[in-house]
Chains A and B, each alone.
Chain A
């Protein structure tokens, strides 16, 4: 949590975003701003559109057949879906961590190097340095520094997820998107990942099923319901003084 040094710079801005999967209206007029160095959590019941919204931010919905988008999404003022915007370029700046750890069936080292190699980093020394930096940032260095040649598939779930975080961080992204990153992890691994999120200082947008998690780690929280953004505000306010009845019902466990 970086509330004290929040700079109020808008990094991601969504304006009147509507999204359709074929006939299904998945997002309805969503507008929200995400601020630099803050952790923005998105909560809501399954199918509320929070993951769909997250994936729009780095164009991971591009390959979904029959998908259609209206409205604008800007990252640092640049349109994500403009005529000149390049999805590959956007994904290099906006990292993503998925629900299930999805390391490649390669060594830990090669997993982390995947992104840097894509952008043309070849020198061994430079790659070594990037790997160490990324693993340290993901709080995994001490655990795996002697196992870098080992397959990432052989690690525990929590370690795998932190490899995935490190892999995303190796590209030195401006923003990190996380889609329920701890839902497949045990409590200890979850704690480690949460600790990392709170202290990373990155601009993070995280989708979570777990309201307590949102309360623990985020600066701001957005509550989605049936494709609409119901309420968005400071996490403390949203959980203690929700403005909307729906929000209150959800966070008090009356549905969801």
Chain B
């Protein structure tokens, strides 16, 4: 009888189960712990700097006083610009890949491209943006150049998330629309896209968080150390939270004195990115309600 073998002995089996579970729990706890440590460290050190003026005023006295309003504005503008760049391109590419493309060399090349693009270090995107948008296209260091660079950076994320969302839309929706005399594009636009949109938007919002946090791409293409006013056109430079931290911590003449500002800025950036992720989770949960497929 196989059940009499040692491997089936209940005590031994339970011990193994316990060990495995313990290990899995420990890894989970460790991951959560690291996350909590980072957030806690930033929050502990940065909380003191946070105040209404810090969020609503311009920096003063060589950044040692005043607020970070222009950096918050700049980050939001750049992230939005990145989204405006990546969403049309990304959604379009995803629709092509998921709905139209037949397996073949072209699709393989596109997929490979998307995959590799997501592995390119962000500093390389920065240099690319500098060479193409800032220099060749003559946009200068500007919101436009920075948005386009960040947009390309998050493009693979948007494509991958959107394609996945489209693929999860039941084939039966497409069949139903086609059988009622819809053209392929009508079926996609009227039935498939509305059904896939929650997933596509979730991907886009998560990508937005990534764009908001990036530093290297905008160092070369969009950000400046200090501005006196909100930008009036997309050809102007802006401050950004990430590069503001970098500047305070590396370029300033009074690095030690600006430490509270550095931590405060980091905390704002962290809150912004986590807030966006939270948004994505809420959007997904809300839109998933009432969907059963």
Contact = CB atoms under 8 A, between A and B. Distances in A.
Interface in B185-215: 186, 190-191, 194-195
Contacts of B186: 118
Contacts of B173: 102, 104-105
Interface residues of B, number: 23
A164 interface: yes
A153 B175 CA distance: 17
25 contacts: A58-B179, A60-B175, A60-B179, A65-B102, A88-B181, A91-B178, A91-B179, A95-B179, A96-B179, A98-B175, A98-B176, A98-B179, A100-B172, A102-B170, A102-B175, A104-B191, A105-B290, A114-B177, A114-B182, A115-B180, A118-B181, A119-B181, A151-B290, A164-B176, A168-B180
B291 interface: yes
Interface string B271-293: 00000000000000000001111
Interface string B75-109: 00000000000000000000000000011000000
A89 interface: yes
Interface string A199-229: 0000000000000000000000000000000
Nearest to B290: A151
A162 interface: no
A75 interface: no
Interface in A87-117: 88-89, 91-92, 95-96, 98, 100, 102-105, 114-115
B253 interface: no
Could you say which interface size class chain A belongs to? 20 to 34
Interface of B: 102-103, 170, 172-173, 175-183, 186, 190-191, 194-195, 290-293
Nearest to A59: B178
Nearest to B194: A105
B292 A114 contact: no
Given A151-B290, A153-B292, A88 B179 contact: no
B176 A102 contact: yes
A167 interface: yes
A98 B176 CA distance: 8
A167 B179 CA distance: 10
B180 A114 contact: yes
Contacts of B191: 104
A98 B293 CA distance: 16
B197 to A, nearest CB: 11
A141 to B, nearest CB: 20
A89 B195 CA distance: 25
A62 B289 CA distance: 34
Interface centre among B173, B179, B191 (most CB of A within 10 A): B179
Nearest to B172: A102
A103 B176 CA distance: 8
A140 interface: no
Interface of A: 58, 60, 65, 88-89, 91-92, 95-96, 98, 100, 102-105, 114-115, 118-119, 151, 153-154, 164, 167-168, 171
Contacts of B195: 105
Contacts of A92: 180-181
A155 to B, nearest CB: 12
Contacts of A103: 176
B293 to A, nearest CB: 8
A121 to B, nearest CB: 12
Nearest to A115: B180
Contact of B180 (A65, A153, A154, A171): A171
A126 B172 CA distance: 28
Contacts of B172: 98, 100, 102
Contact of B181 (A102, A104, A153, A171): A171
A60 B178 contact: yes
A79 B173 CA distance: 27
A152 to B, nearest CB: 11
B78 to A, nearest CB: 35
Given A88-B182, A114-B182, 8 more contacts: A91-B181, A92-B180, A92-B181, A105-B290, A119-B181, A151-B290, A153-B290, A167-B180
A118 B177 CA distance: 10
Nearest to A94: B179
Interface centre among A92, A98, A104, A167 (most CB of B within 10 A): A104
Contacts of B181: 88-89, 91-92, 115, 118-119, 171
A89 B183 CA distance: 10
- 3 pairs of A and B residues whose beta carbons are closest in the complex: A92-B181, A102-B172, A96-B179
Contacts of A91: 178-181
B178 A104 contact: no
A115 B181 CA distance: 7
Given A100-B172, A105-B195, A118 B180 contact: yes
B192 to A, nearest CB: 10
A171 B292 CA distance: 27
